[in-house]
Structure 1
Amino acid sequence: MASTLTSCGTGGSETVTISLVAADYGDSAANSSQRYWDELVQAFEVRHRGIKVDVKVYDWTQVDRKVAELVARDEAPDLAQIGAYADYANAGKLYRADEVLSISAQAAFIPSIERAGEVRRALYGLPFASSARLLFYNKDLFEAAGVDGPPSDWDELKKAATKLKAHGVKYPYALPLGPEEAPAETMLWMLSGGGGYADTNGTYVIDSEQNVKTFEWLRDELVGAGLTGPGAPGRTNRQQVFDAFARGEVGMLNGHPTLMKQATQGGVRYGTAPLPGVDGTSKATMGVADWMMAFRQNGKGEQIGTFLDFVYRDDNVIDFTGQYDLLPVTSTVSEAMREDPNYKRLWQFLDQLEFAEFYPASKPSWAAVSKDVKAKIGAVVSAGGDPAGVLSELQRHADELEVASRANR
């Protein structure tokens, strides 16, 4: 993965190769993100003959670990498009946005998402793609089971799931707390119970009373009642239940915009609704931003900047987000989508994004905390699980990581 410098052979000039490790947003080989990047790189290299771009794409269960391994071997890629950035920024390994992006590209980011990419008020995590979450439900299964409509609170959710189970639905409510989706599903339930990972001051509150009650309810009222389908939630991944939804086997689940296309291709007649909360519609939903970051190690800031300005052109942003039913991270593309009826399916998610809460991604400790959640949260909802004990353990480790990250600044 190390960057290379090779002779171009034209007038004695040199060609600089920059490397990018990126996440895969596709659900099959046919729509793998590798194809998107290959086409974009080909168009870029035609315009910039002195720069080559080598892109490697990994699925979401691997990509963060792949980048971490490369960095640990002092073989950092020039660019990485993954789920967390702050630990690398805190260690001084990243370029700031103003060192690699043009002023116009910097100014285009949606302010609320841009703020989530800042460490000590400097932008290091360049927003790349975003999404919001809604409750997806199978209309045919609801009608067959006698469920009138989507639930607005937890009690209604349990009643609907009970009817779906009685009707023989394989996954009345799909709960993916496996390593692919655990931090997101966890945050969705925390928010719906009035809690979250952090308070308004950015302090971790993982073991708050609200969060403990939320997971006690999940353990006893959904998982313990056999309403989440076969297999333990801690070993159930997001793509697994998305595939099951597209096969008509899931009554309800939390989903992001990419599920719409997959469900339509599967012939599923689905609906979407705001997330149900503990005592009514959830007062907050989760917004997710994925990040592009530029590593200093190989000293290729100029070439990185040239490529990133191309990546963030409006036509390329709308091509990527439209292809994967994601939400844009730039104001100009967001406005364009709102005015284009071809993107009407995304308007409800754009509306949710305005009020969404994001991971505490600007905290250097977040990457490690997220990894902890992936490893441990599934046990909380299993038979005999101890929400208070596990959440307290997560809280203690998060606090320790936060103290250590401040010491390493």
Structure 2
Amino acid sequence: MEDPGNGPAERPAAGPGPAAGPGVGPLLDKFRDITRIALLRGGGLGDLMFALPAVSALKAAYPGSTVTLLGTPLQDALVSGTLSALDDVMVLPFAEGVRPGQEEPAAVERFFNTTHERHFDLAVQLHGGGRYSNPFLLRLGARHTVGSATPDAVPLERTLPYTYYQHEPSRALEVAGLAGAAPVLLEARLNPRARFVAQLPAALCTELPPGDTPLLVIHPGASDPRRRWPAEAFGAVARAVADDGGRVLVIGDAGEKGLAEAVVSAAVGHSTGNGAGPVINVAGRLELGELAALLARADAVLANDSGPRHLAQALGTPTVGIYWAGNALTSGPLGRGRHRIHLSWVTRCPACGADVTQVGWTAPRCPHNDSLMEGIGSDGVAADVRSLLAQ
């Protein structure tokens, strides 16, 4: 894609207006003399994947610039374990609405003292509606600020209205457009680092299959329990692949070992006795760089709407995703050639009947964690998994 921002065609920052060229929403004038960019997007792995297309756009619009992620320790570990467009990470302090936890005023002050020493030229808020994140962003002291805002949030220099139901990578690209950055990629792209690829066989020893054996990786977890497909359903798909002669590895963090084991147990219960490939629990055994190497090595990944599914997609691995319909709108993959989704259209909490479509910054959440995914059948999911493995 042609770089829209160099040479005499570049307009001054004063009086921004829509510029010609591709974009998600208005593509405004670029700012002058931008070399250091801070990008605020905390949260988990998926949140980082949503922001990466905007990082690529900003780097293309401002050649030679550096982009620093203001993120979480988990995101920092992933950036260290993969190759991406990001240059570095500053770990956020605990602060209300920015990083959950017990806020320590001294740590917050140290953080901002460090950001002031970095002399950021542009600060980009991709963290949400801005009620807490916009005041936080303004404290960085950057010369220019862009982001989104709910009606009760402090506006930035250039601001878009925040609406919950918007595709998150597209929202990030629309915010980047406020800084004159046209899209380069529509979805995140990553590569595992060579050292983690090299150490993966030692980390998993005999669990990795021979090169000609199809490998399916399953992640049955999700940060919101309502987004979790039942372990019994995952187990049915795992057993079907194993009975076809494939190898299935079930992943998760240390807190998801029991959930992964439930999938393995369910798979054993579905066994026909004809399969040559086992189903193995490897949850809690991999650091993030090794996880990225495994997901890149897999022939397909089956998962809920979760960080590992988004990470697998960014690594170029085909995926089958289990989605609540509202989450598919905000975070689903764009293509269907390599990525399939199965949708739950449930709109009310199974326990209390609360309308679960009313979400976001103004909507109270009911206290129940009953799965919204139980109506999705395993036969159709297994068919899609087999189709991708056959590719």
> Would the TM-score normalized by the shorter structure come out above 0.5?
no
TM-score of the pair, normalised by structure 2:
0.34
Higher RCO (C-alpha under 8 Å, 6+ residues apart): 1
TM-score of the pair, normalised by structure 1:
0.33
